[in-house]
Homo-oligomer: A and B are copies of this chain.
Amino acid sequence: MAPAIRTDPDGVDVAGRRLPLSRELIISAAVLFVDDNGLPALTMRGLGKELGVEAMSLYRYVNGREDLLEGIVESMVSELHLDPTTMEPLNGWQVYLQWLAHGVRRIAQEHPAVFPLIATRHPAAPWLRPPLRSLKVVEDFLSELISRGFTDESAIAAYRAFSSFLLGHLLLEAAARGAKTDVIADMPSPEDLSPANLESSIATFPHVSRLGARLSEDHSDSEFEAALENMLDRLDRTLAH
């Protein structure tokens, strides 16, 4: 059932040694597991088996399943931390927001099955807005914009608008990407528009039937870039008020 898992099923490396358990190892194994098998398949017992260990062993390193999910989200979002030691300085808030937007998009594309977790889990503080849901990311966001001409208020408004933008676009893009690759243990979709059912629905849904092929086309790259440009232009206009 599990296709092409990246670790040996018994959680041993190529030399046959068992990898030493740790929070980091468990979380990264969980990410791979969700990538391959989908979120509902992630159970403590199943992940334990993947690592060649009983489920109870995991409780030494993570405080239960909820904490594991939190760790997964945190490990993904931390890729968006600004790191001055390795990054060249950004010139302009537009460059920063472009970098940030494409960073989140890369996460959504590489881990489409994990992204719904990033999108819908309750953040640590009520004003944190997925997918920009870590304190460090928000601090960077506000700092970059305010140091480059935004007022406090406009930086906060930008944070709200930008998080909504990223969430809507990338959650739908991840869902589309997931639907192609997906380990669909879901039920066979009842009102599916496969060729068989399509004919019977031409009368009821003429536009949908006629445009079915074009509705399925993937223009996510150009659509994302265009919407991102529009967002940046809009922020620029509020700056010049």
Chain A: residues with CB nearer than 8 A to chain B? 66-67, 116, 119-120, 122-127, 129-130, 135-136, 138-139, 142-143, 146, 152-153, 156-157, 159-161, 163-169, 171-172, 175-176, 178-180, 182, 184, 186-187, 189-193, 201, 204-208, 210-212, 214-216, 219, 223, 227, 230, 234
The 7 A-B pairs with the shortest beta carbon distances in the complex, nearest first, are A168-B168, A164-B168, A142-B207, A167-B168, A127-B215, A126-B179, A139-B205
Name the distance in Å between A160's Cβ and chain B's nearest Cβ. Answer: 6
Q: Closest residue of chain B to A164, judged by CB?
A: B168
On whether A191 and B119 interact (CB within 8 A), knowing A142-B208, A223-B160, A230-B234, the answer reads no
Which of B135, B178, B210, B234 touches A205 (beta carbons < 8 Å)? Answer: B135
Q: Which residues of B contact A180 (CB under 8 A)?
A: 126
On whether A175 and B130 interact (CB within 8 A), knowing A169-B168, A223-B160, the answer reads yes
Q: Closest residue of chain B to A120, judged by CB?
A: B116
A152 close to B116 (CB less than 8 A): no
Q: Which residues of B contact A201 (CB under 8 A)?
A: 135
Instruction: Beyond A138-B208, A161-B223, list 18 extra A-B contacts (CB 8 Å).
Output: A119-B119, A122-B178, A123-B189, A125-B191, A125-B193, A126-B179, A126-B180, A135-B201, A139-B208, A142-B207, A142-B211, A152-B210, A152-B211, A159-B215, A160-B219, A163-B172, A167-B172, A168-B169
